């Protein structure tokens, strides 16, 4: 499942065996409220906002592709008191073994005027499952069905706002510019029937059933051979697609002709075909053909209505953005903090050199040391422009296009790898204590 303001960066995918929902588990608006509006951070197409768990504020990704609530990457400083704990094992996407986890029941969730009573969650004990380094922001958990099921949820990606409405007080408005679809559910996850065109000149629309996956930053995943006509095009490249609970997911990345969502047709979306071993558990739902990810969802204003099994789409501010992939071949991650020496302009003093020279002064600079973010190359796609230029995994990126990276957020840096073909990228990197400068042009190897 899995989380840029431009297009696909990576996918994080988690697959849970269905869990029975406790009848007492419920989110609700307090004081008979009709609505709670919250703002969120959009990072790598993913919706991130804080929720208090038993009084401790934690950052969650809103992920329609998960049935159970998940916590991970907790440290001693987070000090979350969890109730009614028992150890279990979970199996997720990826080809490796299941991971150890703790099931905790009877927890209290709060944000704004919303309270979630008697909530169950899974705490992942594997420290290697870490979204924070890939997003450049601390992520503690993922929440989906348990929150979405209790409200009418209106998501506006352009304004970065979500409205949670009381279903009993909500009145559906007539929207001629909207398309409304029926939802079906399998193991607490929502599915939609849409269509695809394999190539740009095709008029044949292939019907597909896709998981609605707001936690997946890719545009579209398709499962090869899940339909006789779903096959990867001849032009593709093998790529890292994401991290699952059970290991890394790889697959083929390419374009298809179009994605058809009712009256909306999105031309040449990027698509990934994950390898069959990594998605063996996802294929347990035989009707499923793939996933509809956040790079598509962010192009719309969405209304989720789980209680009536409906979802509505309306064109949003990102609708006309072109679909692109990371042409550099660099997978960049957060690398902790570095101590940076900066000029403190507030402390600058002026002193004359001599009384006869009124135009000559000495600037008396004071400096301050501040901890700033650092970023490194975690992985390089073989044969990519960055790989061919001589960059290496482990290089710490100091500057991009002349700007210090410690002055930038991860989204801003990675967004430069999604620009138009032939855009020039310059990088200054630190390797073994020395600085090196590299240049390359972005190249779309699929066209």
| In-domain check, residue 324 | no
Mind listing the pLDDT tens digit for each residue in 6-40?
233 334 444 444 344 444 789 999 988 899 999 99
State the SS3 of the chain. CCCCCCCCCCEEECCCCCCCCCCCCEEEEHHHCCEEEEECEEECCEEEEEEEECCEEEEEEECCCCCCCEECCCCHHHCCCCCCEEEEEECCCCCCCCEEEEEEEEEEEEECCEEEEEEEEEEECCCCCCCHHHHCCCCCEEECHHHHCCCEEEEECCCCEEEEECCCCCCCCCCCCCEEEECEEECCEEEEEEEEECCCCCCCCEEEEEEECCCECCCEEECCCCCCCCCCCCCCEEEEEEEECCEEEEEEEEECCEEEECCEEEECCEEEEECCCCCCCHHHCCCCCEEECHHHHCCEEEEEEHHHCEEEEEECCCCCCCCCCCCCCEEEEEEEEEEEEEECHHHCEEEEEECCEEEEEEEECCEEEEEEEEEEEEEECCCCHHHHHCCCCCCEEEEECCEEHHHCCHHHHHHHHHCCCCCEEEEEEEECCEEEEEEEECCCCCC
**Based on the domain organization, do 262 and 293 belong to the same domain?**
yes
Domain boundary among 165, 191, 218: 165
What domain range is 67 assigned to?
Answer: 11-165
For residue 2, what pLDDT is reported?
A: 38
Q: The domain spanning residue 425 has which CATH number? A: 2.30.42.10
Are 27 and 157 members of one domain? yes
> Do 97 and 22 fall into the same domain?
yes
pLDDT tens track for 203-259: 899 999 999 999 999 999 999 988 888 988 889 998 888 766 656 788 899 999 999
Within a domain: 220? yes
Q: State whether 121 and 251 are in the same domain.
A: no
Write down the pLDDT at residue 38. Answer: 97
Res 282: pLDDT: 65
Boundary of a domain, candidates 165, 199, 231 = 165
Assigned domain for 437 exists? yes
Q: Are residues 123 and 16 in the same domain?
A: yes
Q: What is the pLDDT of residue 352?
A: 46
Same structural domain for residues 386 and 287?
A: no
321 within domain boundaries: no
Do 417 and 274 share a structural domain?
no
Q: What is the pLDDT of residue 264?
A: 97
Q: Are residues 297 and 210 in the same domain?
A: yes
Count how many domains the chain has. 3
Q: Which residues of the chain have pLDDT under 70?
A: 1-23, 73, 75-78, 91-98, 127-129, 243-247, 277-283, 344-365
Tell whether 218 and 297 lie within a shared domain: yes
Domain of 188: which CATH number? 2.40.70.10
pTM of the model: 0.86
Is the four-CA dihedral 281, 282, 285, 287 of positive or negative sign? negative
Q: Assess whether 304 and 222 both reside in one domain.
A: yes
Residue 86 located in a structural domain: yes
Are 186 and 86 in the same domain?
Answer: no
* Domain assignment of residue 17, yes or no: yes
Please indicate, yes or no, if residue 187 is contained in any of the structural domains.
Answer: yes
- 351 within some domain: no
307 and 185 inside one domain: yes
């Amino acid at each position: 499942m899995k989380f840029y303001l431009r297009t696909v960066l990576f996918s994080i995918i988690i697959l849970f065996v269905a869990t029975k929902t406790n009848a007492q588990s419920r989110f609700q608006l307090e004081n008979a409220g009709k609505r709670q509006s919250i703002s969120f951070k959009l990072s790598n197409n993913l919706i991130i906002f804080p929720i208090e768990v038993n009084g401790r504020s934690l950052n969650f990704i809103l992920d329609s592709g998960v049935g159970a609530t998940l916590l991970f990457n907790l440290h001693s400083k987070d000090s979350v008191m969890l109730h009614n704990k028992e150890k279990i094992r979970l199996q997720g996407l990826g080809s490796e073994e299941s991971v150890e986890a703790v099931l905790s029941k009877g927890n209290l969730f709060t944000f704004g005027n919303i309270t979630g009573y008697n909530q169950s969650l899974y705490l992942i004990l594997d420290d290697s499952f870490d979204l924070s380094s890939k997003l450049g922001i601390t992520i503690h958990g993922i929440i989906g069905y348990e929150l979405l099921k209790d409200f009418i949820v209106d998501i506006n990606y352009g304004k970065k706002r979500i409205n949670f409405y009381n279903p009993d007080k909500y009145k559906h408005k007539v929207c001629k510019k909207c398309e409304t679809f029926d939802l079906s559910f399998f193991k607490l996850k929502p599915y939609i029937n849409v269509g695809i065109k394999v190539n740009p000149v095709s008029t044949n629309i292939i019907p597909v059933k896709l998981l609605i996956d707001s936690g997946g930053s890719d545009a579209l995943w398709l499962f090869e051979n899940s339909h006789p006509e779903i096959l990867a095009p001849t032009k593709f490249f093998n790529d890292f697609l994401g991290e699952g609970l059970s290991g890394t997911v790889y697959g083929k990345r390419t374009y298809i002709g179009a994605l058809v969502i009712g009256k909306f047709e999105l031309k040449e979306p990027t698509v990934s075909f994950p390898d069959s071993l990594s998605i063996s558990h996802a294929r347990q739902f035989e009707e499923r053909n793939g996933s509809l990810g956040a790079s598509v969802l962010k192009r719309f204003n969405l209304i989720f209505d789980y209680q009536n099994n409906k979802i509505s789409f309306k064109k949003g501010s990102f609708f006309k953005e072109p679909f692109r992939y990371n042409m550099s071949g660099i997978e960049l991650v957060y690398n902790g903090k570095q101590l940076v020496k900066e000029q403190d302009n507030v402390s600058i003093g002026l002193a004359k050199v001599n009384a006869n020279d009124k135009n000559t002064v000495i600037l008396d600079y004071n400096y301050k040391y501040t901890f700033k973010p650092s970023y490194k190359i975690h992985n390089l796609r073989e044969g990519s422009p960055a790989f061919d230029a001589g960059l290496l995994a482990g290089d710490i990126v100091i500057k991009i296009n002349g700007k210090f990276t410690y002055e930038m957020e991860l989204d801003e840096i990675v967004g430069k790898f999604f620009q138009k073909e032939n855009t020039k990228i310059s990088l200054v990197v630190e390797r073994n204590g020395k600085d090196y400068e590299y240049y390359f042009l972005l190249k779309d190897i699929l066209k």
